[in-house]
Amino acid sequence: MQIFLKYTQSNSVCYVKDGQAIGIGAGQQSRVHCTRLAGNKADIWWLRQNPKVLALPFKDSIRRPDRDNTIDVYISDDYEDVLADGIWENFFTEKPEPLTRAEKKAWLAELKDVALGSDAFFPFGDNIERAHRSGVQYIAQAGGSIRDDNVIETCDKYGIAMAFTGLRLFHH
């Protein structure tokens, strides 16, 4: 995880599942913005693993980039942009049912065993609150914030294991 962060802009966090980076947020003005950005990317990665998404009946002629973009729209709130009559026929052999908001919420609740790394300390517990929503159960961060007690307390609230690495990759 620290390898991913070593090569990103400062103020970066990385969500990892089974050794794979599933969301990276970097270069934002605050760490919580990076945590949100990376968490949203991790959520999208997980939604793409939903059985309903994996079973989408794509036409054989669809190129991979078009398929990927169609999936991104399908799992978004703008799914009608690919499922409307006269449009779905461009992508699918039959019209798929939408992935509902309730189905997305239920599927996202199943995301577990995600690790989160940060290039520096987490200054507030709000980062942990956001990380928890994306299945984070393990955190590696530099430590050293004057609010480490608040961050530890928030981790304890959710049963998240956190390790202080003492390694700061934030350079400026």
Mean pLDDT of the chain: 90
pTM: 0.90
| Cα–Cα distance, 105 to 69 (Å, whole number) | 21
Q: Is 15 helix (H, G, I), strand (E, B) or coil?
A: strand
Compute the residue count for the chain: 172
- The pLDDT value recorded for residue 120 is 80
What is the tens place of the pLDDT at every residue in 89-119? 999 999 999 999 999 999 999 999 999 998 8
Q: What is the pLDDT of residue 170?
A: 61
Angstrom distance (rounded) from CA 122 to CA 124: 6
Write down all domains in the chain, each with its CATH number in brackets: 2-42+111-164 (3.40.140.20), 51-98 (1.10.287)
pLDDT in tens, 24-35: 988 777 888 999
| 79/97 Cα distance (integer angstroms) | 10
